[in-house]
Amino acid sequence: MTTQTTPAIRYAAVTFDCADPAGLARFYGELLGYRTLFATDDFVLLGTEGTPGLGFTRVADYRPPTWPDPAQGKQAHIELGVDDLDAAERRILELGATKPGFQPGEKRWRVLLDPAGHPFCITTLA
């Protein structure tokens, strides 16, 4: 009789589709202080050893999200915790993000778009 064990499964990364994996990895690497753990021409994984990371994979016909217009869905969405919304927003915009006009909860969080058009939020709630 063999004993079955439950395999260990852990969260490893979130991967974003994009046209330029290296470019988007530079943005998030600078933003979060992550380093490149693995890279090819079509995929980059950022993070720190032993913790979940962020991946970026090349999609030939990539079309950025049209958020908040549902015509082209968000594709991925992350929340980043910050101490000061205004200061964090300024820094992230300096790095190349943009801020869409629609802000559903601007006093508690801000929606920004990374250089490939993916929406993400910064919040003091986390």
- Indicate the average pLDDT of the chain: 87
pTM of the model: 0.73
Give residue 125's pLDDT band: very low, low, confident or very high (50, 70, 90). Answer: low
pLDDT at res. 8: 67
- Provide the percentage of residues in the chain whose pLDDT is more than 70: 92
pLDDT at res. 2: 64
Q: What is the pLDDT of residues 47-103, one digit of tens each?
A: 987 788 898 989 999 998 888 888 987 777 787 888 888 999 999 999 999 999 999
pLDDT of residue 126 exceeding 60, the answer is: no
Q: CA triplet 9, 12, 66: central angle to 5 degrees?
A: 125
- Of 76, 58, 64, 61, nearest to 14 by C-alpha is 76
User: CA distances (Å), 65 to each of 3, 4, 42, 51, 68, in order?
Assistant: 47, 44, 20, 28, 8
Residues 111-116, mean pLDDT to the nearest whole number: 92
User: CA distances (Å), 53 to each of 12, 50, 86, 96, in order?
Assistant: 6, 9, 26, 20
Give the distance, in angstroms, between the CA of residue 81 and the centroid of all CA atoms in the same chain. 13
